[in-house]
A and B are shown apart, each in its own frame.
Chain A
């Protein structure tokens, strides 16, 4: 009887203590914090201005940008030991110049020293084959194809003047093969020591879409969706679009 009583008491006490500690972080647990990712889309070192500025691509053609949007997804932080110790769940972020949406927040990042950022440009095949989605994948955006189910991974719309042609510039890049996983080194490591001020700043260069490994001449390529032209631009964004990634 006494023994039974003791055991019961032990169970209740243990359960109570577990209950108290189970859902909240205690001081001996590692620090978990937010990391803000912000993006500046640039052309030749200057922040992108829609409509009012004329730019020159590496082939010497001029262009004006009406809108730029793209998806960054499956964001991971890789620590100094090369381990992807932070994997953002349900990770799909629409970067949208038209409405100035150029940042997102990674939640519950463990304190560590991170040296690389990994993400996908586009929407992975797991989500690209059905457009009844939520959040940034909500189909009410213009980043959805209704006639050929899927998402536009990157949309660059504007006008161009090339050597022999001029007109509308429409790059709607999509299709599973154009989903690219991109890993970039942080220029200095992100050392998370406190719960505020953890930021990663990404700078892109729009002309990187038109340079390497596939120079894009607007006389030849001024519209693209999923075919060979789109594949060329997708190869370019996997290497030359995200220019500089810094942390503080």
Chain B
């Protein structure tokens, strides 16, 4: 009995040792490069949960560092003059101050306004029309567009492969110095997810942090905002990440690859024609001009639009049809208070932290 027990244990032991031996023998030799250090996204207390991070691109210290270097490097463009930061300038909360930029390699004006970049880890559907499904896929658009960075992606990858430092930075981030388009875009995505803006005066107020009270006018502005604007500029992200027609136009011409259909060209539904993504209002004082085509130069112009300039069309947001005429009636005083509140969303720390290139 004892003997058979021992035999059973011995067989089990043999099996375990055998399996371990097979596993050990079949595994590739361990890489000598140190593993990249995983970085956890810090979620501000007043923010909703971020989107699940893509399992195939976990953020690492090395990946973020590489992404930052790439973001600020004009060598990514075909003529070596245009970086991501050309149109997404940190001091303007990663916007460019232009309605329709002509800073790209061709010098031709773009057809949409460069969006400000922040809190992207919470945003699905990127671009004004939501056409880019995720950050990992997004970067190829500006890199390749003839009026933006104008690159042939394969040539860009080959150029980076010949660079004195990039191969080792890719190796540190992704375990191999053989650069791929996918790794390039993943690094840029990792860096962009670190652009979290949550340290404005409003944030300190809402989180009850000491010595950071809002003025009476700003608080009144916040009240007006909650009542009139927060259904679309929702949560402390100040966007619902959805698509609405806010009455800028009442005709949406065909042609130009259906560009003027807005979200309708992505969803391919008639009822979405003329809708655009709700932009965040964070750092809004730094990101003029406004709207998907940058048509309004100031916040005053924006509020005048909502107050008295909204044009009716079939897809106009129901939220803008709650009164006798389309729009949100606001008195001049209410508009001033609202603008005072919007200035409390400016995050100086965000701008300063990200100001300089690596």
Contact = CB atoms under 8 A, between A and B. Distances in A.
Nearest to A16: B21
A208 B154 CA distance: 33
Given A3-B6, A139-B153, A15 B14 contact: yes
A3 B3 CA distance: 9
Contacts of B6: 3, 7
B10 interface: yes
B54 A130 contact: yes
A226 interface: yes
Interface in B42-74: 54, 56-57
A139 B10 contact: no
Nearest to A147: B131
A148 B54 CA distance: 19
A15 B21 contact: yes
Contact residue range for chain A?
20 to 34
A176 to B, nearest CB: 12
A129 interface: yes
A3 B9 CA distance: 13
Interface in B151-198: 152-154, 157, 180-182, 185-186, 189
Contacts of A14: 14, 17-18
Name the prevailing secondary structure of the A interface residues.
loop
B132 A19 contact: no
Interface stretch (B136-144, B233-241, B291-299, B335-343): B136-144
B354 interface: no
Nearest to B151: A140
Contacts of A19: 18, 21-22, 25
B225 interface: no
B140 A11 contact: no
Contact of A149 (B57, B131, B157): B131
A7 B7 CA distance: 8
22 contacts: A7-B10, A7-B13, A10-B14, A15-B14, A19-B21, A19-B22, A22-B25, A22-B26, A23-B22, A23-B26, A130-B134, A131-B137, A132-B137, A132-B181, A132-B186, A134-B182, A140-B154, A140-B157, A146-B140, A146-B141, A147-B127, A149-B131
Interface of A: 3, 7, 10-11, 14-16, 18-19, 22-23, 129-134, 138-140, 144, 146-150, 226-227
Given A7-B10, A138-B180, 20 more contacts: A7-B6, A10-B10, A10-B14, A14-B14, A14-B17, A14-B18, A16-B21, A18-B18, A129-B133, A130-B54, A130-B136, A132-B56, A132-B189, A139-B153, A139-B181, A139-B185, A146-B132, A146-B140, A148-B131, A148-B265
